[in-house]
Structure 1
Amino acid sequence: MKMVSYTTAGTIYFNGLILIVFSFGSFSEAKMKVLLVSSLISMVLSLIAVVYTSINLLSNVSGLKTSSEKLAYISDLLRGQEGNPVNPLKQNEKDTQFCIKALDDENPEVRAIAAEALGQARGPEVEEALLELLEDKNSRVRITAARNLGRIGTENAAEPLIKRLAVDKAPVFRVCAIESLGNLKDKRAIEPLIKNLDDKVPEVRLVAARSLGILGGDKAEEALIAKLNKSSPELQKQIILSLGNSGSKKTAGLDSKKAAGALIHKLRDKDPELRKYAAESLGKLEDPESVDPLLECLGDTNPEVRNAAAYSLGTLRAEKATDTLLGMLTEEDSELRITAVYALGNIGSRRAVDALLKTLDDSNPWVRRYAADALAKIGDQKATTPLVKNLNDPDPEVRWATAEALRLLDKQNSR
Structure 2
Amino acid sequence: MATERTTTHELDDDPWSRFHRWGPIALLATGTLLSAGTASLLMTSGQRIPASLLVVALTGWEILRLRGHTGSGAVYYVARTVSAFVLSLFNPFFAIYAVMGYFDAPWLVGERWARVGLVATAVTLAGSQAGGLPPRDPAIWIVFVLLFFLNAAIAMVAYRIGERDLRRTEERIDAIAELERANARLEQALSENQALHAQLLTHAREAGIDDERRRLAAEIHDTLAQSLAGIVTQLQAAGATPDPDAARRHVAEAADLARRSLGEARRSVHNLAPEVLEHDTLETVLAGSVDRWSAEHGIRVDFTVTGTVEPLHDDIAATLLRITQEALANVAKHASAHRVGVTVSYMDDEVSIDIRDDGRGFDLSAETVDGFGLRGMNSRIARIAGVLDVESEIGTGTAVSVRVPLVKAGSVS
| TM-score normalised by the chain length of structure 1 | 0.18
Richer in strand (by share): 2
Richer in helix (by share): 1
Query: Which structure is higher in RCO with an 8 Å CA cutoff and minimum separation 6?
Result: 2
